[in-house]
Structure 1
Amino acid sequence: MVLVAGTSLSSCDQIWSARNVPDAVKVKFVESYPTIKQVEWEQTDGLYEAEFKISGRERKALFKEDGTLVSYIEEIEEQYLPKRVVAQLQQEFNQYKVSEVHRMQEGNSTSFVIELEKGSRDIWLRYSEAGELLERSANATPTVQKQAASMLPLSPSRTSVEDLGIADSRWELPTELREVSGIALLPDGNMACVQDEEGKIFVYDLRQKMIVREIPFAGPGDYEGIALAGEDAYIVRSDGTLFEIAGFENQQPAVKVYEASFPATINIEGLAYDREQNQLLLAPKGYDPKWKGQKAIYAFSLNSKKFLPEPVISIPLEQVEPPRKGKKLKLEYDVLQPSSLEKHPTKDVLYLLDAVNNRLYTMTRDGKLNRTLNLDESQLRQAEGLTFDQDGTLYIASEGGKKGKGVILKYTKGIQ
């Protein structure tokens, strides 16, 4: 194997030629995966296999010499297995533990490769989407059929649109939070809020229905999101600049500022703490012109305290169902304009709120949108904030506009 650094052909020519990778394969790979920076290549039986990662998960793509994709395999979470496959596993292999799950695309066929373990014994199974067992082998992976395949992640199907449903509780916010732009639930049950004018964290008591504390961290500005990481709070300004308020509930919290250098068109609004990667995820309402046809999610490492140079998640916009009739799009990017981003507390699922298009999305780490839900515009005029409690209860905050009041709605059952 050989390590390939960079994705443009010009930067990779020397390494490509060292492995004798055909031009057609080079073009197809770079065209399909423009953000990939590290690839391992192997040549077997006249085919070219690329092994790489997207958002920390393994991927393999197998190409013919003419650039035709033979198969594509991606690592996925167990929860994304089809219900019929899960039923078969529970019925026939309930004493085994699921170790790994991969989705494999060959031509128009999708199958699921599952590794089970029981003590020192491993079993590999391959199921169809309908739950039919296609292949079984012990201590070895199933054979990959060498036939042409369509690119699953590059041509994702659009999700059907549902309605979010009715909230269980509703809070009308005071004047200071009329333009609430971000929320985060505190361990004591109070809600930390920011708004897009004042550089303060407003602590709102959901029981007393009042602001009980204000924590200044900066002067006036367009503040859009808040995320909590342990005892520290992070606020994002629309230009991507981050404000770290260390020990924010202390009497004199320390504030640090991390300047961003995003394009002027980016307009960051979503901010979420990713505990697994110890990083902050940043979702733009706007766009970066170099990522055509995609909405990029960026990251700030809490280990190095630096912005990562490239997006960590890329969302293909072709999978987004167009907005309701009457809404016109000026740019292709306008079909998805995140106003808030949050990670579910118990599942590896990301939630994207879109105030402009009145929608809520659920998403995997590889940018696949799983569910699309319409918001009730009469209840959520401009949904700007999103948070969860530890049990998955969902809270959504909405601005009130010039005459109305900001609100927080509570959905105890989350998304069913």
Structure 2
Amino acid sequence: MATFLQHIGMLALLTLGGCDSTKKEQVVYKDYDLGKPDKFNMPESLFEISGITLNQGNPDTIYAIQDEDGRLYRLGWDEPKQLNAKFSKKGDYEDVTIIRNNVYVLKSNGAIYNFPLTEAVFEEVEQIREMKKILPKGEYEGMFGDEASGKIYILCKNCEQDNSKSSVTGYILEPDKDSAKISETFSIQVDEIKAITGKVERGFRPSGLAKNPVTNDWYIISAVNKLLVVTDNQWKVKEAYALNGNQFIQPEGIIFDKQGNLYISNEGDDLFSGNILKFKKKNR
């Protein structure tokens, strides 16, 4: 009898082991320890930091915006002093990117402000252009500029043409010297996120996106859903991770440096200042 029970126990262990082996590989935690960031607390001027970027992946200077003031901020890592350049009046500015020595700032209504990076060293930007009515009506928060192609990727957070419980639309823009135009669209299928996590029952609301230069995967954050979603370069969802609300207060900005280190910015709240969290890429 003991031998028979031992066989049954062994079979159960093997069965459980087989189930575990079919689980998806945790690619985010494999490459980044999301529980152990380097934290850079923002000065008071960036309490409501809403977007961050780097120029060509260079981590020496972090460029940031906040969602009430039309200024581009420049900081060195862990240096509380910031410099800034005013590019517009007060408004709801959500994200920023730099491609080919040009700065692009995304407003929540889909308007885009563009000026040369060389203007960022002055107190006020003079060579500014505002591009309107390129994107469909809606609310936008996430933007990424690809240096190699010169294209800009923008994800809709809340748009009439979308049902956020089923899919979220993204737009690929090709800027030129006069304006910009939509060249392609893409979508994130919410069912693919639901298959991994139940955090999107009320719809997916992305707040930022960036491409990992090492894997070419897309990383998409949502402050509303407290999620980090990873897709392949065809926008098929690979992973989705719940973010710890005690650490990720309000994740709005995301970028990678050229070494593949991950940066996520958080707006502040009543208890904490805004910050940028840096997750170093693990060496394997």
Superposed pair shares fold, TM > 0.5: yes
Deviation at 1:263, TM superposition (A): 4.5
Closer, same or farther: CA 202–346 of 1 in aligned 2, 3 Å: same
Alignment of 1:185-224 (within 5 A): 185-186=54-55, 187=58, 189-211=60-82, 213-224=83-94
CA distance in 2, matches of 1:291, 1:189: 40
Return the offset for 1:327. Answer: 7.9
Q: Which residue of structure 2 aligns with residue 277 of structure 1? A: 149
Q: Is the 8 A contact 2:100 2:147 kept in 1?
A: no
1:302-341 equivalences under 5 Å are 302-303=175-176, 305-308=179-182, 311-321=184-194, 329=202, 334=203, 336-341=204-209
Alignment of 1:359-370 (within 5 A): 359-370=227-238
- Where does residue 109 of structure 2 map in the other structure? 239
The 5-angstrom pairing of residues 107-146 of structure 1 reads none
**Alpha-carbon contact 2:162-2:169 (below 8 Å) kept:** no
Instruction: Note the alpha carbon deviations across 1:58-79, whole angstroms, 9 max, x for none.
Output: xxxxxxxxxxxxxxxxxxxxxx
**In the superposition, relative to structure 1, how do residues 169 and 362 fare at CA in structure 2: closer, same or farther (>3 Å)?**
same
- Which digits, 9 at most, give the CA deviation of each residue in 1:208-254, with x for residues without a partner? 2321x111111011000010113211100001110002134343552
CA separation of 1:362 and 1:188: change in aligned 2, threshold 3 A: closer
- 2:219 corresponds, among 335, 348, 351, to 351
In the superposition, the TM-score normalised over structure 1's length comes to 0.55
The SS at the match of 1:201 is: strand
- Residues 228, 242 of structure 2: 8 Å contact kept: yes
How many pairs are equivalent? 251
Separation (CA, whole Å) in 1 of partners of 2:102 and 2:147: 13
Partner in structure 1 of residue 269 of structure 2: 401
Aligned pairs for 1:150-169 (under 5 A) are: 165-169=34-38
Measure the CA separation in 1 of the matches of 2:198 and 2:232: 27
Per-residue deviation, residues 10-34 of structure 1 (Å, max 9, x unmatched): xxxxxxxxxxxxxxxxxxxxxxxxx
Unaligned runs of 5+ in 1: 1-157
1:271: how far off? 0.6
Larger radius of gyration, structure 1 or 2? 1
8 Å Cα contact 1:393-1:410 kept in structure 2? yes
- Return the letter of the residue paired with 2:81: M
Matches within 5 A, 1:19-30: none
- How far did 1:204 drift? 1.9
Higher relative contact order (CA 8 A, sep 6+): 2
Tell me the percent identity: 22
| 1:259 maps onto 2:132 in alignment | yes
